[in-house]
Amino acid sequence: MEWKGRGHAGATPAEESLEELAELARTAGADVLLRIIQTRTAPEAATLIGRGKVEELAAAVKEREADLVVFDSELSPTQQRNLEKALGSKVIDRTQIILDIFASRAHTREGRMQIELAQLNYMLPRLSGHGTEMSRLGGGIGTRGPGETQLETDRRRIARRIKKIRDDLEGVRAGRSLHRRRRSAVPLPTLALAGYTNAGKSTLFNRLTQSGVLVDARMFATLDPTVRPLILPSRRRALLSDTVGFIRNLPTTVVKAFRATLEEVTEAALILHVVDAASPHAPEYVAHVMAVLAEIEASTVPQILVMNKVDRIEGGSVDTEALRHRLLGSRAGIQAAAVSALTGAGIDGLLRLVDETVPFDPIVRASFDLPAGDGATLALLHEFGRVIETRYDGDRCQVEAEVPESLKRRLDRRPQ
């Protein structure tokens, strides 16, 4: 649907949003037979779309023998029931198809709980109006009406289940907080990959960590977060987390349900905001991700804009600063790197930029006076730092090195 007079600067055209909905439908396993757009000044209360468009859509459903109609706008329970009756087919909206995709992709216990919570929250207000279909009682004098008793039973059962899942997810949050505290005691900074779905996050994740995470062109291929170690050019260790891809109009229900997972982003030391720089819609994708980051209170976390897929940009050479300005506009304080996760171009420059930007456990230059036979400490310096010079004087070894500050503190406390 597209509403006249309700657009704003940078608004996404209805055609583009509908194309994304079609991709969601294909990801869920549907065959797209027809796309229809209606422009109105305001939604119709009973059916969202106008009466004439309902009749046109009903004829198209019958002609193509379609068994499912997907609306890009969120439907109220009443609108959904009225449309199903008028069209003679199942009717769902954007939120339902996203939840369906998420349900098929969640593999961890936490992911399945989050999906169930989102589905139950979505289902609860839609229980009313099913009448005798949900009743185990008959009508009659002295009763509250067909369907009412079973409806209340279902509501209470769903409410109890929602409370249990929320309590379990609070336990997940507590566990994540404990793991983060342990990691910060090392300290080991966490970097979070975030970005629009299909921006190439999983390919970049595999390139940076030499991992084998699933890479799939379908939307939301990576749902459960994955964390792997990453070695920076300074030899510092970090953890890299791959998260679910964002999407325009991401349902609030989903954002709330995935709070525990998204905390990996809010608690990160640095966000690597990945965008498909070759897409003509890249500036809009950046804006949508920025909006979601603000919604989950992660907008203050330091960011690097990773302009991915530069190998697909026509012309070959890339003006990084011009590309950054096209994607970020007047936003200040965000550095950018142009890369191709597929070919590896620009990856070394990105790692150097990350190394310079990670805000804690800074690299310091220090001198160490070691016993000549202390091979363990010398190995530590080579593994976690950059040894600049090594000199031997009798039974002593003088080492000049650049190391993480935490390692220097640890070695300074060792017995001489």
pLDDT tens for 103-157 read 777 767 777 888 888 888 888 877 754 444 444 444 444 444 454 556 777 888 8
Tokens of 186: 């090392």
Tokens of 286: 């950046």
Does 9 have pLDDT greater than 60? no
Per residue in 229-283, pLDDT (tens digit) is 898 888 888 888 887 677 776 666 676 666 655 666 777 889 999 999 998 889 9
**pLDDT value of residue 178:** 67
Name 181's Cβ contacts closer than 8 Å, sequence gap at least 6: none
Average pLDDT over residues 337-366: 89
Nearest to 272 by CA among 215, 186, 205: 205
187-357 matches 2-100 in CATH topology? yes
pLDDT greater at residue 66 or residue 169: 66
What DSSP state is assigned to residue 280? T
**pLDDT value of residue 172:** 76
169: left (phi over 0), alpha (psi -120 to 50) or beta: alpha
| Residue 179: pLDDT band with limits 50, 70, 90 | low
**pLDDT value of residue 13:** 65
Tokens of 75: 């439907």
Sign of CA dihedral 60, 62, 64, 68: positive
Q: What percent of the chain has pLDDT over 90?
A: 27
In this structure, the chain runs to a length of 416
Q: Where are the domains of the chain?
A: 2-100, 106-138+145-185, 187-357, 363-412
Among 3.30.300.30, 3.20.20.140, 1.10.10.350, 3.40.50.11060, name the CATH number for the domain at 2-100: 3.40.50.11060
Q: What percent of the chain has pLDDT over 70?
A: 78
Domain 187-357 superfamily per CATH: P-loop containing nucleotide triphosphate hydrolases (3.40.50.300)
8 A C-beta contact, residue 230 and residue 206: no
Average pLDDT over residues 340-364: 88
**pLDDT value of residue 263:** 66
Distance, in Å, from the CA atom of 193 to the CA atom of 264, rounded to the nearest integer, reads 10
What DSSP state is assigned to residue 30? P
Does 306 have pLDDT greater than 90? yes
Does 351 have pLDDT greater than 70? yes
Distance, in Å, from the CA atom of 404 to the CA atom of 406, rounded to the nearest integer, reads 5
**pLDDT value of residue 174:** 75
